[in-house]
């Protein structure tokens, strides 16, 4: 009975809990599957674990997420770890690097230069996803899917449970516009956005409409804005 109650509370099967000690569960509204901070019982290694929510469709979503992420490599992606041979339990393991979702942070406390860096990383990884063949639609650009490593302000994009690699061009453009809106909100989190923000908004809108033609100029403007912000903080 105790194990059943623990399983219901954590959203992890007894088979998963036999291998991993659960420290806590993240409160993520955009994730269809539970995301847990765990320690591997055999090694003590800390990991992120995404497991089935117990519904019939959940294993298929996990398989789809693994399939898409399996062909992607980017420094700003939260990439899964390889599974052990013979382990058929439906879950995904991710490395833990002391990061946490931006939804749980007070964005105004981040330095303006760090917020610009986060925005630039979000644009870079979105451009990478949309530039794949076929293009990958993340499906849920939101603060809780942007994971930041404190101290170095390194961003990793997570939450591929709604990802798709058969999206239409209008769907991809809509996602770029959502990313632009999200990034501008991050940059101006304290209500006093960096001076070049109107220019970035203009170039970002151009990138959203014509990603192949406009990204190089947009990327250059982001780098220039970051350098200006760093210089201003010296």
Residue 142 has pLDDT above 90, yes or no: yes
> How high is the pLDDT of residue 137?
98
> How high is the pLDDT of residue 146?
95
> How high is the pLDDT of residue 196?
60
Going by pLDDT thresholds of 50, 70 and 90, the confidence category of residue 4 is: very low
> For residue range 25-66, what is the model confidence (pLDDT) as tens digits?
888 776 778 899 999 999 999 999 999 888 899 989 999 999
d(CA 29, CA 196): 33
Going by pLDDT thresholds of 50, 70 and 90, the confidence category of residue 71 is: very high
> How high is the pLDDT of residue 84?
64
> How high is the pLDDT of residue 3?
41
If you average pLDDT over each of 28-32, 104-108, 185-189, 210-214, which comes out highest?
210-214
d(CA 142, CA 132): 21
> What are the structure tokens assigned to 169, written together?
């061009």
SS3 content of the chain, % helix, strand, coil (to 5): 45, 15, 35
Give CA separation, 62 vs 25, 27, 31, 58, 90, in Å: 17, 18, 11, 6, 7
Q: Which helix (H) or strand (E) holds 221?
A: helix 211-233
Contact 30, 159 (CB under 8 A): yes
> How high is the pLDDT of residue 141?
95
d(CA 218, CA 204): 6
> For residue range 191-221, what is the model confidence (pLDDT) as tens digits?
765 556 788 999 999 999 999 999 999 999 9
Contact 53, 42 (CB under 8 A): no
- Domains contained in the chain, CATH given: 2-95 (3.30.200.20), 99-233 (1.10.510.10)
> What are the structure tokens assigned to 67, written together?
């399939």
Residue 87 has pLDDT above 80, yes or no: no
Q: Quick check: helix, strand or coil at residue 187? A: helix
User: pTM value?
Assistant: 0.89
Q: Which helix (H) or strand (E) holds 173?
A: helix 169-187
If you average pLDDT over each of 8-22, 86-100, 120-134, 187-201, which comes out highest?
120-134
């Amino acid at each position: 009975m105790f194990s059943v109650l623990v399983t219901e509370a954590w959203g992890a099967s007894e088979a998963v809990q036999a291998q991993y000690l659960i420290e806590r569960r993240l409160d993520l509204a955009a994730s269809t599957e539970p995301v847990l901070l765990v320690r591997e019982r055999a090694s003590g290694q800390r990991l992120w674990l995404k497991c089935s929510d117990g519904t019939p469709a959940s294993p298929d979503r996990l398989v789809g997420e693994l399939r898409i992420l399996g062909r992607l490599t980017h420094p700003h992606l939260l990439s899964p770890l390889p599974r052990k041979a013979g382990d058929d339990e439906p879950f995904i393991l991710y490395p833990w690097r002391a990061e946490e979702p931006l939804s749980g942070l007070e964005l105004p406390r981040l330095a303006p230069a760090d917020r610009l860096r986060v925005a630039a990383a979000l644009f870079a990884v979105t451009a990478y996803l949309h530039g794949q063949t076929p293009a990958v639609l993340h499906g849920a650009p939101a603060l809780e899917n942007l994971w930041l490593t404190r101290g170095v302000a390194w961003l990793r994009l997570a939450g591929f449970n709604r990802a798709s690699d058969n999206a239409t061009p209008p769907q991809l453009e809509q996602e770029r516009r959502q990313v632009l809106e999200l990034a501008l909100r991050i940059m101006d989190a304290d209500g006093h956005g960096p001076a070049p923000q109107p220019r970035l908004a203009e170039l970002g809108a151009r990138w959203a409409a014509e990603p192949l033609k406009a990204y190089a100029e947009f990327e250059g403007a982001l780098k220039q804005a970051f350098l200006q912000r760093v210089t201003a903080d010296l």
